[in-house]
Amino acid sequence: MLSLSLQELQQHATPFYVYDLNLLRQTLQQAQQQAQRYNFQVHYALKANTNGPILDEMRQVGFGADCVSGNEVKRAIENGFSPQHVVFAGVGKSDAEINYALDQDIFCFNCESSHELIVLNELATAKGKTARIALRINPNVNANTHKYITTGLEENKFGINAWELPDVLALLKTLPNLALIGLHFHIGSQITDLSAFRNLCTRVNEFQEFFESHSVQLEHINVGGGLGVDYYNPEQQPIPDFEAYFALFNQFLELRPGQQVHFELGRALVAQSGSLISRVLYIKKGVTTNFAILDAGMTELIRPALYQSYHKIENLSSTAEEERYDVVGPICESSDCFGKAVALPETNRGDLIAIRTAGAYGEVMASSYNLRDKAAAIYIG
């Protein structure tokens, strides 16, 4: 499972995150190899993990940066990403964030509302700049994923709805300091049914026809990200099927001559390379279940509490007969639970526990609730 031995892991104070850089590099190389077959451009979604060593690997393989806050734009540039490969999305960009990105002359702002277009034009005009923009369009495509990470339905807060587009095009004619260079779409996250992406392609093709009918030429089509990973079988499927993913878009997108296709992948690139390592503090006998109480909690990995998501849990210290445990953390919330009725070898105080597939939306979503110390990160490879 992990390149480090149990003895090596025991030398570190728990809880901590461990990242397998060798697996990360293999994943990035496969993603880049498959994307390059079709001249697709990949931007890494920083929101999945913003650690410096992770960003270094992304930059070195040739990926751009997809950012959803001003500080993510700053982090990307400080870590060596060219501003010409930085995209800034987000439904609520502040004036300060926009001004910083304008000063850096980033590649593109993905704009999500008419009001944002007006504000961006005002700020760009004040600086004597022209901002390159893509319109983020809500395609009303169901991603068939958790409702909290679905972003492409009309009921979601993200993007411009199809019925608004005529008014948006009319508005853009009055905003001289904006240059429309493309369209942006993103339908959700942790998508494992590729048919959702085929449906997205169909909608993108329809929107292309709309803009063409209005004599609008587009250089760039950004189809977002959302490719899921196998949380249940991290050993058997450590790297997503990038070949099938990119081939689908190549087959079903109807591109115009010279158009560049962009992707924003996050989870699919980093999730499997990270694990959260914790130690058992107590075993508590319950009425209907036993509890394995860890020193890691929802402050280190909030996904199970927030999304009721599954992460594979392994006892690295024991090979005894299996029993079932509710694996919980120390936080003063009943939702602080990593898994219920988890089959583990008989577990005792001091055993090391690995919670797998924590490289994305683990450390980056950590909090100091209950005045918790921030867990360390170690890197192997």
Is omega for the bond preceding 15 within 30 degrees of 0, making it cis?
yes
Query: Which of 271, 289, 322 marks a domain boundary?
Result: 271
Task: Work out the percent of the chain whose per-residue pLDDT is above 90.
Answer: 89
What's the structural domain count of the chain? 2
Helix (H) or strand (E) holding 35: helix 21-36
Instruction: Note the helical H segments in 272-324.
Output: 303-307
Task: Work out the percent of the chain whose per-residue pLDDT is above 70.
Answer: 95
Span 44-102, pLDDT tens digits: 999 999 999 999 999 999 999 999 999 999 999 999 999 999 999 999 999 999 999 99
Structural domain boundaries, residue 343 = 6-15+272-380
Number of neighbouring beta carbons within 10 Å of residue 113:
19
Q: For residue 91, is it within any domain?
A: yes
Query: Which of 271, 305, 324 marks a domain boundary?
Result: 271
CA distance readout (Å), 369 to 99, 112, 196, 275:
32, 32, 36, 21
Nearest to 238 by CA among 312, 186, 183, 296: 312
Span 287-309, pLDDT tens digits: 888 999 999 999 999 999 999 99
One domain for residues 263 and 161: yes
One domain for residues 296 and 191: no
371 Cβ contact partners less than 8 Å away, ≥ 6 residues apart: none
Longest distance between any two alpha carbons in the chain, whole Å: 71
One domain for residues 281 and 230: no
pLDDT for 142 beyond 80: no
Domain of residue 330, CATH code: 2.40.37.10
77 Cβ contact partners less than 8 Å away, ≥ 6 residues apart: 83, 86, 104
pLDDT of residue 351: 97
Give the pLDDT band of residue 139 (cuts 50, 70, 90): confident
Contact yes or no for 43/36 (Cβ under 8 A):
no
pLDDT of residue 314: 97
| Mean pLDDT score of the chain | 94
pLDDT for 330 beyond 50: yes
Complete DSSP assignment for 116-144? HHHHHHHHHHHTT--EEEEEEEE------
Nearest to 275 by CA among 362, 338, 188: 362
Instruction: For residue 364, count CB atoms less than 10 angstroms from its CB and return exposed for 0-12, middle for 13-18, buried for 19 or more.
Output: middle
pLDDT of residue 287: 81
Q: Is the Cα torsion angle 91, 54, 146, 288 positive or negative in sign?
A: negative
Nearest to 47 by CA among 14, 76, 80, 21: 76
Span 344-373, pLDDT tens digits: 999 999 999 999 999 999 999 999 999 999
